[in-house]
Amino acid sequence: MLFRSLVTSAIFAAIYAFVFASLASGIGQNNWLISFALLWSLAFLSILGYVYGRRLKRAFKGETGTIKWFDPSKGYGFLIRDNGGDLFVHLRSVKTEDRRKLRENTRVKFTVEETEKGPQAENIKII
């Protein structure tokens, strides 16, 4: 992800620096490099902020609830949200250190992801 941000921002910065250099008359080689460096750093920071900002937003956008029932042999169950309603829980969505501890009436923190079958609890962690 970091490499992709570096490459994408370098491409955008090169395009903007070229346009800036062609529009500005009498720009020297050093000025072109300075404008490229400034534009690259701005593009890199904005792309990096966009990518990792979405991850941080998802990480902090958690809800709480209680496990209604969970069958580890089947690998799924349901939980009751504090906001109301039930959500499907799959074993792969539970943190590995919490998989053996997941029982009925256990308090959990999770995020809600929209899947093709409807909303589902993800990143489930016992609190």
Q: What is the pLDDT, as a whole number, of residue 91? A: 92
Least confident interval from 38-42, 105-109, 112-116 = 38-42
SS3 of 90, please? strand
Q: Are 122 and 113 in contact (CB under 8 A)?
A: yes
> Is the per-residue pLDDT at 76 higher than 70?
yes
**Per-residue pLDDT at 52:** 73
More confident call, 42 vs 63: 63
- Residue 18 amino acid letter: F
Give me the architecture of the 63-126 domain, per CATH.
Answer: Beta Barrel (2.40)
Count H helices and E strands in the chain, helices first: 2, 5
CB 64 within 8 A of CB 82: yes
Q: Is the pLDDT of residue 86 over 70?
A: yes
Question: Average pLDDT for residues 66-71, to the nearest whole number?
Answer: 93
> Considering the entire predicted model, what is its pTM?
0.53
